[in-house]
Amino acid sequence: MLYEIIRILIPATVSFIFGMAATPVLTHYLYKHKAWKKAPGKIALDGEAAHIFNDLHKEHEVRAPRMGGIVVWGSTLLTVFGIAALARLMPNTASLQLDFLSRSQTWIPLGALLAGSLVGLVDDILAIQPRGGGLLLRHRILIVIALSGLTGWWFWAKLGVVSLSIPFASPLYLGILIVPCFVLLSLALYASGVIDGIDGLSGGVFASIFASYTIIAFVQQQLDLAAFCAAIVGGLLAFLWFNIPPARFYMSDTGTMGLTLSLAAVAFMTDSIGGGVGVAVLPVIGMLLVATVLSNVVQVISKRFFGRKVLQVAPLHHHFEAIGWPGPKVVMRYWVLSVVFAFVGVIIALAALPVTPYAVSPQQTMLYEAPATVIP
C-alpha cells in the first residue's frame, strides 16, 4: 500500500516541479510577444455587450497574457512521457514500476487532454492577433462534439461500455446511447470552462476535482489512471502558484478545453470500467462547474423569455463581484466549497463501491483459527 501511494505522489511532485521550472520561461515568452487580447471587452451569450463584466475586467484583459494552461498540460505531458522514457532507458530499475503510460487506463484521458489543449491553443493564438477573436463558438462546439464523439464511440465499441453506474442502485443500461451521453457530458464540462474568469479561480477548482478522481481511481486499483490525475493536479498547483492574484497569466482555452475533455474521459474510466460510479458523482464533485453552467442557462432563458435578468451578470462568480465581493473573496470561498463538494463526492463514490472481503494471509488465518479439539 505504501509503495502504491508513493507511485501516485511521485508523478504529482514531478509535474509540479516541471511546471514551476518552465513557467518563468513561458511567461517571458508570452510577455515578450504580448500574448494578450489587444482590445478589451466581451460579448454576452445573447450577442449583446457584457457591460457589467467589461466594467469589472476590461483593464485586466489586456494586462496579462493568455495560454497559461500550457503550464498544466505541458508539465503533465513531460511527466508522463519523461517517466515512460526513463523506464525504457533503464528497464532494470525502479523507474519501470513508476511508468503509468498504459493503453488500458491512460491513453484515452491523455489523448483527450492533448487534443483539447491543442485546439484551445489555436483558439488562443487567433484571439491575441490584432484583429482576432479566436475560433467562433459554433466551430469550437463542433470540434468538441467531434472529439467527444470519437472518444464515446471508443468507450462503446472497443471497451464495451454500455451502461452507467448508479450509486446504491442497478446500472442504467444505455447501449449505443452511451456515445451521445459522453458527448453531452463533454459539452456540459466544456461550457463550465468559463469558470476561468477570476485570478486563481479555475486552478483551485480543477485541482480539487482531479484530486478527487485520483483518490477514486486509486481505491479502484486503477493506479495508472490515479497517477495521471495526480500529475494533472501537480501541474495545476504549479499554474496556481503563478495565477494567484495578481495573476501572471490566464489559463484560457488551451487549459480549460483540454482539462474538461480529459475530465469527461476520467469520469467514464472510473465508472463501470473501474466498478465505480465516476459519472454519477461528477455533478457533486464538480458542483461549482454545474453552478457555473446553470447560472448561464438561467440568465439566458430569463432574458429571452421574461425580459429580465436573474443575476446582475453571469456566470455566478461574476455576479458576486458585481454585488461588491472582492475577487479574492470569491476565489477563496469557491476554493473552500470545491474542497467540501470534493469530500462529499468521494465519500459517495467510495460508499457505493462493492464491499470485498479483507485479504488475510495463510499465516494470519492460522493465528485466528481455533485450536483443534483433541479427542483422547
Handedness of CA 29, 203, 250, 59 (dihedral sign): negative
**Any idea which residue has 462503446 for its cell?**
156
pLDDT tens sequence for the chain (376 residues): 788 999 999 999 999 999 999 999 999 999 998 888 776 666 655 556 566 666 666 666 667 899 999 999 999 999 999 999 988 888 776 667 889 999 999 999 999 999 999 999 999 999 888 877 789 999 999 999 999 999 999 999 999 999 999 999 999 999 999 999 999 999 999 999 999 889 999 999 999 999 999 999 999 999 999 999 999 999 999 999 999 888 899 999 999 999 999 999 999 999 999 999 999 999 999 999 999 999 999 999 998 898 888 998 889 999 999 999 999 999 999 999 999 999 999 999 999 987 654 434 443 333 334 444 344 3
Is 253 known as a binding-site position? yes
Show Cβ contacts of residue 267 under 8 Å, excluding neighbours closer than 6 positions: 185, 213, 278, 279, 282
Q: pTM (2 decimals)? A: 0.90
- HEC profile for the chain? CHHHHHHHHHHHHHHHHHHHHHHHHHHHHHHHCCCCCCCCCCECCCCCECHHHHHHHCCHHHCCCCCCCHHHHHHHHHHHHHHHHHHHHCCCCCHHHHCCCCCCCCHHHHHHHHHHHHHHHHHHHHHCCCCCCCCCHHHHHHHHHHHHHHHHHHHHHCCCCCEECCCCCCCEECHHHHHHHHHHHHHHHHHHHHHCCCCCHHHHHHHHHHHHHHHHHHHCCCHHHHHHHHHHHHHHHHHHHHHCCCCCCCCCHHHHHHHHHHHHHHHHHCCHHHCCCCCCCHHHHCHHHHHHHHHHHHHHHHHHHHCCCCCCCCCHHHHHHHCCCCHHHHHHHHHHHHHHHHHHHHHHHHHCCCCCCCCCCHHHHHHHCCCCCCCC
